[in-house]
Amino acid sequence: MMIRSVVVGCGSYLPARVLTNADLAKIVDTSDEWIVERTGIRQRHIAADDEKTSDLALNAAKAALKHAGMTADDIDLIVLATATPDETFPATACRVQAGLGMTHGFAFDVQAVCSGFVYALATADNFIKAGQARAALVIGAETFSRILDWTDRTTCVLFADGAGALVLKAEEGKGDNTDRGVLTTHLHSDGRYHDLLYVDGGPSSTQTTGHLRMLGKEVFRHAVVNLADVVKETLAAVNMQPSEIDWLVPHQANKRIIDGTARKLGLGTDQVVLTVGHHGNTSAASVPLALAEAVADGRIKQGQVVLMEAMGGGFTWGSALVRW
């Protein structure tokens, strides 16, 4: 017997404003053709001026709770992944906690940029398995539009805003792969690669928020290798074969990276949840946004095996294998 973190609900929120590739071509020297061919992105959502990361997160959290048939009273942990917090401190998770009317339990942020949701999920799973939480909200929420250099065509066409959330609940399992819930998680980082993807500001360095800087080609190269490695490691840890995966729900940075990962696993395109085309890269929000979409439209069903993976600034990368 062992405690498992079972997914009992999920939800998401996208800001109303949609920015198309054609809109971007009016701001920087780019084209719909280039963006679609190199990334798969066609449009993305951008937060309204008065919408903060915590607002997006709160909407996603409420949707996830509703889907689970639970209320904030049932939750005792909130782990929120973001690289674009409302403020330097306190944690955006505490804003969400207050927004839900929760005065019990504990809430904190994790910072692993695009790998943030996988990090948050692993963290919440470990608190649940350790018996320190019974039910958790795991949220990925970002307003990347606020840290983009809108004059840099190599980055401003890629990133976007949004939020997604899961509700995890402690349930007793047998301890084998047939259990529902989080089966295994794997996290990695390597700080040597800071300069390939970072924000050139912060409270302790420049006292400004700064802008995202990325050497995309280099990041791409590392992503392909690191994601293949972590996927291999994940399946080996639970002695499962790629053929046992029902759904790949990857971080949505680039369709070409996602296609490559799916090909290596021998998964058909109909087994990959692909949202990069209409969401862009929403960093920590991309995996839960994709999950929520595929659950809402009936693709992901209870009992199925879902592989999540992500790679981002740090570098950070990781995975989570979940039986829904």
- The binding site for ligand UT7 (CB under 6 A) comprises 30, 34, 38-39, 114, 153-154, 157, 216-217, 219-220, 223, 253-254, 257, 281, 311-312
Residue 90: asked if its preceding bond is cis (omega within 30°), the reply is: yes
Let me know: does 290 contact 273? Beta carbons within 8 Å.
yes
Cα 219 from Cα 257, distance rounded (Å): 11
Residue among 39 and 84 whose Cβ is closer to ligand UT7: 39
User: Closest distance between ligand UT7 and the C-beta of residue 30, in Å?
Assistant: 3
* 167/214 with CB nearer ligand UT7: 214
Minimum distance between the CB of residue 36 and ligand UT7, rounded to whole angstroms? Answer: 11
Output the smallest distance, CB 149 to ligand UT7, in A: 12
Min CB(251)–ligand UT7 separation in Å: 6
Q: Which CB, 126 or 154, lies closer to ligand UT7?
A: 154
Number of residue whose CB is nearest ligand UT7:
216
* Other residues' Cβ atoms within 10 Å of the Cβ of residue 204: 6
Which tokens belong to 264? 């290596």
3-state helix, strand, coil in the chain (%, to 5): 40, 30, 30
Annotated catalytic residues are 114, 251, 281
Give least dist CB 183 to ligand UT7, A: 25
Q: Are 58 and 96 in contact (CB under 8 A)?
A: yes
Q: Which of 78, 307, 310 is nearest to 189 (CA)?
A: 310
Q: For residues 25 and 305, which CB has a smaller minimum distance to ligand UT7 in the complex?
A: 25
Question: Which is nearer to ligand UT7, 154 or 177 (by Cβ)?
Answer: 154
CA-to-CA distance for 101 and 74, rounded, in angstroms? 12
- CA dihedral over 134, 310, 322, 8, signed as positive or negative: positive
Q: Identity (one letter) of the amino acid at 234?
A: T
The token duo for 89 is 């401190």
Q: Where are the alpha helices (DSSP H) in the chain?
A: 21-25, 32-39, 53-68, 92-99, 116-129, 153-156, 216-237, 255-265, 276-279, 286-296
> Min. distance of Cβ 253 from ligand UT7 in angstroms?
4
